[in-house]
Amino acid sequence: MPTVFAFTPKFQAFTSGGALANGYKLFAYAAGTSTKQNTYTDSTGNSANTNPVVLDSRGEANVWLDTTLLYKLLLTLDTEADPPINNIWSVDSFGVYQAVGSFTSLTVSSTGAAGGPALTVQDLAGAYQVVGANCLNNAATPTTQFDMDCDWLKLTQAGDDGTKFVNNPATITNNVLTAGPAANGRDQAGVFSASSWIHFYWIYNPTTSTLASTSSATGPPTGPALPTGYTHWAYCCTIRFNASSQLIPSYVKNDFVGYDAEQAVLLSGTAGTETAVDLAAFIPPVAKTFQIHLLHALAGGGGAANEWGTRLRVKTAVTLILVQDTVIASATTGVRNHVTPTIPNVGQNMYYLVALVG
């Protein structure tokens, strides 16, 4: 039967005091019932766990769930009876799709019944998953090579629900100058365009059991063109290729991607009306959100008291962030305020304006 792990990459629990929950019990039932339901020791689904599952000295257990079922899960103390009377927590109607990465896409067709759009959920080819990503520019050749490392990988095969799992892979270096499609090179014969975004992927060859990398001008969910023999991929990150055709020094920690040095998107902005700021050279189109460091500074002038604000927007005329300060009457010294908000990426663009508050 098809199974998937319920927790990434192992179930683990802690006591109320933060210690490892050695000996604690995990009971599994059919959703909404008190009827026990099997969990499994591995992805084959051939070997059922004991029910309850008893956690080891690290408070961990291998818990794989049947992909066709919903579960009610209860965690209890090690002294609890079977059936349990008390539990630490209980989660009902838990399904494995809460633990799978993400769908390829959700598309809206142009036609549908009764004049409305028809929603189509595509296959699970985008259900890759990466745990503990730790990536950065190669130390020896930082402008054209990128080091990719992580704790655990789930790679997907395009057009198929087949997946591959790799635990604690070695660091892999991708060279964007290597013509492709090639393992550990790019996925196209021609060079990447300057001032563009390069998407990095782990790729897998099941025939040779080889894990490698590729770099591509095509982001997810489409994915890269794979070299011969490679059938699976998992998205890593997207890095800026600057006007000099060099990878901008960047780092990846889990799902966070940052620049080694601050990138200035706007300097000395004083626009008193809503003004667009193009972010296409600073955040990739695949990013869901981004962080921006805003310095709101007011100069003292010795005049009347005024309260000024800097407004950030991603939608015209709708303020998302307002940073404001007051210059005290007759003050000759200005004021400064720093914020670092997380903002949704809407078309790699935002708006700002500086104006009196009120």
Partners of 73 in beta bridges: 28, 91
- Can you give the residue range of the structural domain that contains 249? 126-259
Predicted structure pTM score: 0.62
How many CA atoms lie within 13 Å of 352's alpha carbon, on the beta-carbon side?
19
Q: Do the domain assignments include residue 113?
A: no
Find the range with the poorest average confidence among 171-175, 227-231, 301-305: 301-305
CA distance 122 to 108: 11
In a domain, 120, yes or no: no
Q: Total structural domains in the chain?
A: 3
pLDDT at 160: 55
Same domain, 206 and 305: no
In a domain, 289, yes or no: yes
Better-scored residue on pLDDT, 1 or 107 = 1
* Claim to verify: residue 254 and residue 296 sit in the same structural domain: no
Task: Tell whether 251 and 313 lie within a shared domain.
Answer: no
Is residue 87 domain-shared with residue 201, that is, in the same domain?
no
332 and 208 inside one domain: no
Tell me if 319 sits within 8 A of 282, measured CB to CB.
Answer: no
pLDDT at 345 over 60: yes
∠ CA 238-244-249, nearest 5°, is: 45
**CATH code, 62:** 2.170.14
Q: Is residue 35 included in any domain, yes or no?
A: yes
Domain presence at residue 247: yes
Terminal-to-terminal C-alpha distance of the chain: 63
**Residue 55 pLDDT greater than 50, yes or no:** yes
Q: Does residue 172 lie in a domain region?
A: yes
Judge if 199 and 283 occupy the same domain. Answer: no
Question: Would you state the structure tokens that stand for residue 231, as one six-digit string?
Answer: 């059938």
Spatial distance between the Cα atoms of 21 and 18, rounded to a whole number of angstroms: 8
Non-local CB neighbours of 239 within 8 Å, separated by 6+ positions? 146, 197, 198, 200, 247, 248, 250, 257
Sequential DSSP letters for 177-243 = TS-SS-TTEESSSSPPPSSEEEEEEEEEETTTTEEEEEEES--TTT-PPPPTT--EEEEEEEEEE-T
Q: Are residues 89 and 135 in the same domain?
A: no
The confidence band for 354, taking pLDDT boundaries of 50, 70 and 90, is confident
